[in-house]
Amino acid sequence: MGTEKSSIRRGWTLAAVVVLGAVACAPSQQAASRVGGPVTLMSNGWIDATATLDPATTPVYEGDAPMKFEFLKDMRKGDALTLSAYSLGAHSGTHIDAPMHFVLGGASIDRMPLQPLIGPARVIDIPDGVQAIDVAELNRHEWKGAQRVIFRTRSSLRGWMASANFHRDFAYIAPDAAQLLADAGVQLVGIDYISAEQFGAPAPMTHRILLGKGIPIVEGLSLEGVSAGDYDLIVLPIKVGGHEGAPARAILRKRTR
């Protein structure tokens, strides 16, 4: 036991040295990665592209479950601890649609692979006047070759992901553009309002096309502070077993090469 304990202690000491070394080396992190040395992941340069979940500022899709946030205990009111509960639709705020949302037998959130959720992504600026992102609009932009495509639309320009009022006239991805992106092998599609589908569309074709190919859709991104260009994306949904969607944290970091 004594030997075991001391080897554990030695392990911790070694870990501490490694961490200290990493901190000391932080400025030369990029150089280290270029020569194949160990890379330490840092928070530098990452932009939070997540809308804050807050009933006062989060839009709820027409007809969807209302958000309810409450404090069961509150230290600010003299309780010994703070403890809260919230209930909200699975498609609240920044969230991911899994194939199960519109594909019978499709993967649920917890069964989606990580691969499409982490990697290079291109943010494309769609002008305020454009509501339908169709093939004609898509082809006005440099999207070809992008592994993940994120649309920054009128929603970001108008601050709609931070406004509790639901807007029906959000910009959406038209089915023909969804088909083109899917056929081109795009791994993930994102947009900055709570649906990628036209409000009142006769059929959810955009969802069917993308999710039918196993392409996750990130909806409700907060892109006010993001400009068009190439980024690294990490977007991870809460791992809810057997459900078709879940809120996610999305972060972007500008690619320098």
Contact residues for Zn ion, defined by CB under 5 A: 91, 97, 219, 245
> Between 92 and 187, whose beta carbon lies closer to Zn ion?
92
> Between 97 and 137, whose beta carbon lies closer to Zn ion?
97
Give me the least distance between CB of 245 and Zn ion, in Å please. 5
Query: Hey, which residues does 71 pair with through a beta bridge?
Result: 84
If you search the block for the tokens 């791992």, which residue do you land on? 239
Nearest residue relative to Zn ion (C-beta): 91
Please give the span between the terminal C-alpha atoms of the chain, in angstroms, as a whole number: 52
Catalytic residues, which ones? Answer: 101
> Between 97 and 192, whose beta carbon lies closer to Zn ion?
97
Cα 101 versus chain centre, distance: 17
Give me the least distance between CB of 90 and Zn ion, in Å please. 8
φ, ψ at 133 (rounded to 5°)? -90, 90
With contact defined as beta carbons under 8 Å apart, do 254 and 229 qualify?
A: yes
Give me the least distance between CB of 97 and Zn ion, in Å please. 4
With contact defined as beta carbons under 8 Å apart, do 244 and 107 qualify?
A: no
> Between 146 and 221, whose beta carbon lies closer to Zn ion?
221
* H or E, element range at 172: strand 172-173
Query: Hey, which residues does 119 pair with through a beta bridge?
Result: 233
Q: Tokens for 246?
A: 């879940």
Give me the least distance between CB of 92 and Zn ion, in Å please. 9
